[in-house]
Amino acid sequence: MSNQSNEPQEDNKTSVAHSSLQASESESSQVTQATQATQAASESASKSTTADDNVNALTQWQSLSPWSMLSFIFGSAKAILSNGYAIIPVVYAGWQSGFDLQMGLLGFVAAILLLTIFSFIQWQTYRFKLSGQQLNIKRGLFFTRKDEIPLNKIQNIRYSQPFYFKPFKLGTLIVETAGSKDDEAHLSALDSTQASKLKQQLLQLAPEHQLATNDAIDEISTENTADSVNTPSNKTHKTIVVRNLKQLIQFGFYQNNLIWFAVIAGPIMGQIKWEQIVELPIIQQFWGAVVSYSGPSIALQAIAIMMTLLLVYCLFSIISIVAAVLKYHPYTLEKQQQTLQRSGGVISHQQDALAIRRVQLVHFSQPFLAKLLGLWTLYFKQVKGQEVEQKTTEHMLLPSVKTAEIAAILAQIPQLAGGTTNIPARYQAIALAWFLRRGFLMFIPAVMILIFAGLNPISEVALLIATAVMGLTFLRYKQWGYVIEDEVLWQHSGLFGHHWKRIPYEKIQHVSITQTKGQQRSGHAYIEIGLASGSLTLPYIAEKDALFIAEKAMQTIKQDYRNWI
């Protein structure tokens, strides 16, 4: 009996000892974690001291590396070639009249010498420093130019590594401000470490070592929380999306700008002697094969011509694909604190940083071929001026995005105004009156030609053109619409593809509503929505919807008067 009564007591002692051991291990683990956090903090403090020394060094006037002369030389040469269209006829005329090789070589050497002297002067006179909350830059020999760039107005920072800097592991830091048509500053021949520290200062970001320490402490505190499974990660630096080679090839294929190339190349194509090209043996053999297979059938010949045009498109797509891969591979989009950072590029590696607060709207673009592939291109449109994509109308882009990925990607950027991330399934179309007032305009001259000239080839062509224009106008009308949500307004447009624009109410600067007498009678109105990235128009929408959009935008701005720029 006594043995039976002692067994529970021994079990209780064992249980108490086990619990005590667990508590001791828990306390030991917490002490270890606290020690790790303390060590990380001390390391952070030491690194912070070094970073402060680097920042203090930037408060003095700094000169660029002598290697920056390479950047000045190539930049000046590019500017001359880009703006030298006027000298093309002179060069062509000189070539036709006879080219002197010796004089050509002398001219080339003289041009290189002048560019080198000019670049040397630029390097000698270029200075920069951080002064308080602004970046100061001065340059110029006879006429000194000084720029003072407030840090809170910096919109983009691009770190570009051209091919001539890659062997030296150097790059160029390009600073862009809101509303500027030109780059404000080019800091050439910086190494990646120096450029990263300067970029953090210009964008007013926390240092990388401090972010790593904060993330480590957050992870330790999250592990010690009972509901750590449901606690979201609070990291300030994370990868949003990566695009592989296949996805960039798809992007280059559906983003082919063959039509614009044809428009630009039109004057050049007109100078080509097509009669001689048609008489080439390979062209004659090709057309002979088409006629032999199609026979007298005009439909089959037309199909053969369409297939030929498709082949030409595919050939131009190769150029577009190569350009996309060289510019963006390997593509990575990251979020670091309050900025979006994109990196990529084969020949010229780029690292672009865009302050999220500068994003005015998100543009979802889906050209016709992208529609067949089920892909979108996302553009983060910012304050109008010099954009990330280097003197184009485009903005920081995210290529080859599937519809199912969009919500998950935007959910990782909660700082984007509006909150809504899903593309609407349908939209409210504009009034049919918009099409009725425009769709039949081209028939007026066609009918006039038909009345005065009768039915002839000219009037038939005029009627055909009028019909085609009416069809395109109808397609545009069918694609034009809008969706009103609680925090954002969606605009839909397009012709053969789809374009969605997500407009947060808090980014709207002004709203203008106009009505004709006919619109007043029918209850419709035009509404122009002004953003820092440009204006958008919704024509022939319901008057009550236009008034609601205007009232919603003004009410949102009234409640949140923070600087949306």
Residues in the chain: 565
Residue 202: predicted pLDDT: 81
Give 538's DSSP letter: E
Question: Helices (H) and strands (E) in the chain — how many of each?
Answer: 18, 21
Residue 5: predicted pLDDT: 44
Tell me the HSE value of 180 on the side-chain side, using a 13 A CA sphere.
Answer: 18
Q: What is the mean pLDDT of each run of 10 residues along the chain (565 residues)?
A: 45 46 48 49 48 60 87 80 58 59 78 87 88 85 82 80 83 76 75 82 62 47 40 62 93 73 49 61 72 68 75 79 89 88 86 84 92 93 59 71 92 79 90 91 88 84 90 93 92 92 90 92 93 89 94 80 51
Residue 371: predicted pLDDT: 92
- Angle, CA of 300, 302 and 304, to the nearest 5°: 70
331-336, strands of its sheet edge to edge: 185-191, 170-177, 154-161, 349-355, 339-344, 331-336, 237-243
CA 265 – CA 270 distance, rounded (Å): 9
Three-state SS for 133? coil
Q: In the chain, what are the domain boundaries?
A: 2-58+208-225, 62-202, 251-328, 359-430+480-559, 433-477
Fold of 62-202: PH-domain like (2.30.29)
**Mode of pairing for the β-strands spanning 361-366 and 498-504:** antiparallel
Amino acid at 16: V
Burial class for 295, CB neighbours closer than 10 Å (0-12, 13-18, 19+): exposed
Other CB atoms within 10 Å distance of the CB of residue 167: 7
Termini Cα distance of the chain: 85
CA 155 – CA 202 distance, rounded (Å): 10
Three-state SS for 364? strand
Burial class for 452, CB neighbours closer than 10 Å (0-12, 13-18, 19+): exposed
CA 533 – CA 208 distance, rounded (Å): 31
In the numeric block, the tokens 């808090």 are attached to 506
Look up residue 420 and give its two tokens.
Answer: 């809504």
